[in-house]
Structure 1
């Protein structure tokens, strides 16, 4: 099913555009194109997996009627909204001018709309009025000629009939010519509006978010036009916290920063996302882009673990290592990874079942045993 992709305005009736609604034997409703494609492949209801075949589908006239009513009401609501936006504001301004009161406070978008569209509206309205005036002038000229001809042939019945037919034809031609001109004029105005009132590219975009330091990618992330860097950073935090446990988020490191990488088809360039509250729509990011977190973040799994000597319980096993730089062995895995980070270490005894809290690093440089 396809969702109506009109711009989001303050209307009270959102609606799903379903054409030719069909109902399955199990009582679920779908548009005809969608359900036919589905059951032709799987022979099941996509909602509950109940068996479904083409011959068992039922036309749901009642739901179609309801949807038709909703679509009509949505269209009417849209008209009312924009009529109020344009006409009410104009009326308010006229009242203000007449009363010498303060100018009404308009929404900034309304202010710009009124400022730049007013010139076009006035110019086209003036031309429209000129056309209407010209039609009336030509009608008067034609009527004057008709009356003069009638007076000239008032005693000639045959000629009078010809005069009436001739001027009826001329008047009909004049009206049709005016209508053709008006149609061309309105087409010109519509073309002008299509160029100057283009819908902005303020739509949700699908991106992937890449955490470079962790080799993790969050796919199919839908971002609103108003999404900011702050929102993306919070989204990353939420995704890790949803995993919980060792994947829980702690903090962004000082070198962490976000960039956007456009798809190859859009040039593949990299855009620095350097303003926390700047909406992504103003960065001209497109569908399929990657939001890449460069630098590092800290998760609970990154925190140093306690030394085996501090956590030992009877029966525990441990991997022990030897540090070639320090020249001693029996170093537990945690100390090998943290205390001897950057040293050359090799496995010494793997999966050893310890009989006591053994880690020789506690006698040397261990900093984990007291944590």
Structure 2
């Protein structure tokens, strides 16, 4: 049930975080121990130097002068060591903070906003602002939830899907790549060739049943390119009005007819051309 899943996640989070913190604290304790040994070595060296200085039986003024020099040197070394450990501790805290940001704050199984486009005839479909369409994906979502984005993109072109085949691909492109239209098309063209090994990590093609956030830790801003067996209405041969005419006398039919001056019959321009035929006839 929901509660059991929540409990398991809480336990995993707590155990992982505690283990991670314990590892960092162990490293920090080891570091402090090393600095304590360094400090003890400096103190021992100073104490030996003082004993040797006393054994030399120097005149009072010379003894005093050399003692001050060695004391100043000792203090500088101790202060330098203390400053070094403070700086390292600050870096240590920053490292742990970055660790948490990277591995906790950006946990992959959260809702993620992705970019979506359709690749067809070496063209990428954009929104009305000329940008990739943005869609929010939830952890449980399969790639099929992005198919609705195609309707939005195609509507802007006064088009729609006529048939969605079985072979539809979803290619995910790293958001840190060059996502300009030309660069993306180049990557898509090369993704199945042998000379594109260097970019294999930046492109991932998955099936429509894939749950990319849970299975592949989909990054925010990833570009999802939909392509494959997708037939648009604009690609389907138009039917003449004669083929679609319903002979029901009770049904009203409003039809626009056109004339083509290049299509000639009996020396006269061809008339009574329906709109479907006119769209593929001469202008």
Per the shorter chain, which TM-score range? Answer: 0.3 to 0.5
Q: TM-score, normalised by structure 2?
A: 0.48
Q: Looking at both structures, which has the greater relative contact order when contacts are Cα pairs under 8 Å and sequence separation is at least 6?
A: 2
Q: TM-score, normalised by structure 1?
A: 0.39
